[in-house]
Chain A
């Protein structure tokens, strides 16, 4: 258990650093930018208490905000994402039950499961993020286009990161 907590704290720092220093500087086609820090919330263990989940999302968003001067923006989106996680998990049924010891991620639950889980979660996050950023409904459809394209980009990178940095099960 302790080991698991440490791992998540380490993941928090690594993802925040990678987001602020590298990923915020990627501009595909001018306006696409992966927000891979959400992977931290995606990979939190199933046993995480609800209040801790919310606080983790809040803390992660706040950290990103502090470095980009977008106060409250990522905080609101990440908290919303953490809030909707139990709901999304309930929606997506897996062949395997969520037993203790099983962690969300490609390694334990497979690529298909992660793609649907990740897409829903990242879409909700990006939807909140870009809508709050634009803050007007007159730009709704351009914003929606951004949300969808960006969701796909973030999801692809989240999948690649997992293949690169997790040891495969023996």
Chain B
């Protein structure tokens, strides 16, 4: 036993190194495999506070663009108001409320931390469980999709950005409805890759790509981007399509978190089907 301790003491430098690295790797693995909400809850109120304060200063520099984006969106929404519509048939107009049931609701949130330069990028929002945010909710911006909520504390939430290794978003080419998967290769934050579109489908540069609505996270029809270029590698039956993301991920100021009122019903049904 004495020799054992002498041995430990002699090589303490290496042992300490190994112990510290093991701690780091455990942290990393925990983070990838499931929500490390315990550590997150303990630290997010502090780091969130600091990120928030920094953002209070930093957002002044982007006020001009933010105002322009907001004004543009206001105009677009104004165009959708009931007042902007012309009713063709007054007898049906009043029955709209019973025919339509609200499925999606949007919570505006301020982006207080954002990155685009890592292999795996995250955003932090200033809304949390208190504001009704839950994990796995979709996050969108005026010009396109942004990411998926991963962890939530009472007042803040972390969002896995589209610019992430694990990104797999079901989307489709708008003009013909063929469905593919969106992934990100980690190099350029303006572009992403669309996979699984069969090579016999006719597509062209500039075609719009929207969310398919199959994944039960993103609503259908949210704009994702346009086709920048595409090619078919020899011997493959699928396109390799590069997409220009319509939302500039480096200029996010305000985003919307999407609440899906039917999500629980959908996932219960899904679970039920899997159990059969």
With A and B bound together, what is the CA distance between A83 and B18 in angstroms? Answer: 10
The answer to whether A66 and B47 touch (CB under 8 A), given A83-B17, A133-B119, is: yes
What's the least CB distance linking A38 to chain B, in Å?
A: 15
Look across to chain A and name the residue whose beta carbon is closest to the beta carbon of B120.
A133
Residues of A within 8 A of B50 (CB): 20, 67
Check B21 against A76 for contact (C-beta < 8 Å): yes
B187 touches A80 (CB 8 A): no
Contacts of A3 in B (CB 8 A): none
Given contacts A30-B116, A133-B118, contact A142 B186 (CB under 8 A): yes
Binds A, one of B26-34, B135-143, B239-247: B26-34
A29 to B158, CA, bound (A): 25
Q: What's the count of A-B pairs with C-beta under 8 Å? A: 106
- Looking at chain A, what size class is its interface with the partner chain? 35 or more
| Cross-interface CB contact of A73 among B28, B113, B116, cutoff 8 Å | B28
Tell me the bound Cα distance from A134 to B122 in angstroms: 15
Quick check: is B39 within 8 A (CB to CB) of the other chain? Answer: yes
Contacts of B58 in A (CB 8 A): 25
Residues of chain A contacted by B119 (CB below 8 angstroms) = 130, 133-134
Closest to A86 in B: B13
* Cα distance, A40 to B47, chains bound together (Å): 21
Instruction: Please report which residues of chain A, range 121-170, place their CB below 8 angstroms from some CB of chain B when the two chains form the complex.
Output: 130, 132-135, 139, 142
Q: Is the CB of B28 within 8 A of A54?
A: no
Write the nearest CB–CB distance from B188 to chain A, whole angstroms.
5
Contact A31 B115 (CB under 8 A): no
Most chain A beta carbons < 10 A, residue from B20, B31, B40: B20
The reply to whether the CB of B12 lies closer than 8 angstroms to some CB of chain A is yes
Known contacts A27-B189, A30-B187: does B122 contact A79 (CB below 8 Å)?
A: no
Main SS of the interface on chain A?
helix
Given contacts A31-B188, A69-B122, contact A76 B24 (CB under 8 A): yes
Q: How large is the interface on B (under 10, 10 to 19, 20 to 34, 35 or more residues)?
A: 35 or more
A135–B31 alpha-carbon span in the complex (Å): 13
Interface residues of A in 70-101 (CB under 8 A from B): 70-73, 75-76, 79-80, 83
Q: Which residue of A lies closest to B118 (CB)?
A: A133
Give Cα distance in the complex from A54 to B119, angstroms: 26
User: For residue B129, which residues in chain A have a CB less than 8 angstroms away from its CB?
Assistant: none
Cβ of B202 within 8 Å of any chain A Cβ, yes or no, is no
Q: How far is the CB of B158 from chain A (nearest CB, A)?
A: 6
- Which chain A residue lies CB-closest to B29? A72
Residue A68 is within 8 A (CB to CB) of chain B in the complex: yes
- With beta carbons under 8 angstroms apart, the residue of A31, A66, A135 that contacts B117 is A31
- Is A75 a contact partner of B186 (Cβ separation < 8 A)? no
Q: Flag B14-50 by CB within 8 Å of A: 1 or 0 each.
A: 0011001101111111110000100110010001001
- Determine whether the beta carbon of B21 is less than 8 Å from that of A79: yes
Say whether B36 contacts A71, CB under 8 Å.
yes
A32 at interface, CB cutoff 8 A: yes
Q: Among the listed B43, B54, B187, B189, which residue makes an inter-chain contact with A66, where contact means beta carbons less than 8 Å apart?
A: B43
A31 to B28, CA, bound (A): 22
Find out whether the CB atom of B250 lies under 8 angstroms from the CB atom of A67: no
Contact B189–A71 (Cβ < 8 Å)? no
Q: Are A51 and B13 in contact, CB atoms less than 8 angstroms apart?
A: yes
- Are B43 and A70 in touch, CB under 8 angstroms? no
Task: Knowing A50-B13, A142-B186 are in contact, say whether A70-B21 is a contact too (CB < 8 A).
Answer: no
Q: Is A6 an interface residue (CB 8 A)?
A: no
Question: Could you mark each residue 1-42 of chain A with 1 if its beta carbon is under 8 Å from any beta carbon of chain B, else 0?
Answer: 000000000000000000011001111001111000000000
Q: Find residues 40-91 in chain B having any chain A CB closer than 8 Å to their own CB.
A: 40, 43, 47, 50-51, 54, 58
| Nearest CB of A to B122, in Å | 5
